[in-house]
Structure formats: C-alpha cells, structure tokens
Amino acid sequence: MTNPLLLLDIDGVLNPFEAPLPGPAGYRLHHMRPQSWIAQHPHLLADDVPDLKVRLHPEHGAELLDLPFELAWATTWEDDANRHISPVIGLPTLPVINWTSPEQFPSDGTYFKTADVVRYAAGRPFAWVDDQILQADRDYVRRHHPGPALLYGVDPEVGLTLDDFEALAHWAGELAMTNS
C-alpha cells in the first residue's frame, strides 16, 4: 500500500504567525522575502517590500519525514515553500499544489483550497493540515472525496505540536491497519 498524502500549509501550521515574537519555545525567527509575499504588495517596488517574519522549528522537517506519509505543500507559498521553508527545516523539495483561485472564496463557505486539495488527492487517502479548516470544508471533502481523509486544524498561535505529530501518526497507523 502507498502511504497516504500529508498536505501541509505553512502559515499557522509550520509558522505560528499569530504567536508573539519570536514564537513558541524552540522556534527560530527568520526574515524572508518570498515572491508570493512580494506579490501581495503591488503598490511597492520589490526592493521596498519589508521582510516577512517567519517562525520555524528546526526539528519539524525531521519529524515530518518520520511520519508514514507522502508529503506535499498545500500553501499559498506554492513553489516558494521549496525555496524558503524546505531548506530551513530540512525537507527535500516537495510536490506543490497550485491553486486555481487563491483570491476567491467559493460561495458554499469552503476555503479556496478545498476543491484543489480534493482534486490533488485524486481519491488517495490524505491528511490536510491547515489553520483555516471549517465544517464546510469537511462536508465538501465527505461529498467529493471517495477515500479516507483527515482535515486537521492547527492553532496559528501554537503551530504544530508533539500532540499533532502523534495524532497524524495514529491516523496513518489506523489507516494502514484497516487496509492490511
């Protein structure tokens, strides 16, 4: 059996951006200028866009790689995730979900990522870790995804914790037991 997908957001999950600076214990503050951040400031010249303050835990890459999942980025950072985040936390280059309409939220109350996440998973079991998952997203996945799915919310003031890693590993383990 192929490992399930683990679809990872950055802001709120790996970067607890709502935590007071410098971030929770163990996190390190980084100053970054990804293209996705620069594009959010069209009124400024690229050199005038302030650095983005990103809090990252240096052990999260190894902890993610230890999980029984196939990792992919599910973040508005898109390809910038591999350029800026992966090297800092020790992840290899990961596949990236490219969003079809990142500026537009659907009228059904789902997050703009939800339909693209389901499309990317293409029926495979997946866990999606994000800080903006709502009941409408869970309902959408239940209606449109034929396989097992875990929509896992993370507090953007805290980011991923040991409990979260354990919950993800437990879900993947239960899935493997039911499929063996």
| Residue 23 vs residue 155, higher pLDDT | 155
> Kind and range of the H or E element at 171?
helix 162-178
Q: What is the pLDDT of residue 1?
A: 61
Mean pLDDT computed over every residue of the chain: 93
Q: Is the predicted pLDDT of residue 3 greater than 90, yes or no?
A: yes
Whether 68 contacts 176, CB under 8 Å: yes
Q: What percent of the chain has pLDDT over 90?
A: 81
Token reading at 12:
């709120």
CA distance 144 to 46: 40
Residue 22's pLDDT is: 83
pLDDT above 70 (res 57): yes
Buried/exposed code over 24-37 (b: 16+ C-beta within 10 A; e: otherwise): eeebeebebebebb
The pLDDT assigned to 40 comes to 86
Name which residue leads in pLDDT, 106 or 72: 72
**Is the model's pLDDT at 132 over the cut of 70?**
yes
- How far is Cα 74 from Cα 9, in angstroms, rounded to an integer? 5
Statement: residue 171 has pLDDT above 80: yes
Query: For residue 43, what pLDDT is reported?
Result: 93
Show the domains of the chain with their CATH numbers. 5-19+58-178 (3.40.50)
Q: 0.95 cut: is pTM over it?
A: no
pLDDT > 70 fraction of the chain, expressed in percent and rounded: 96
Among 47-51, 71-75, 102-106, 161-165, the minimum mean pLDDT is found in: 102-106
**What is the pLDDT averaged over residues 99-124?**
85
Q: Which sign does the torsion angle of CA 44, 47, 48, 54 carry?
A: positive
Distance CA 67, CA 6 (A): 9
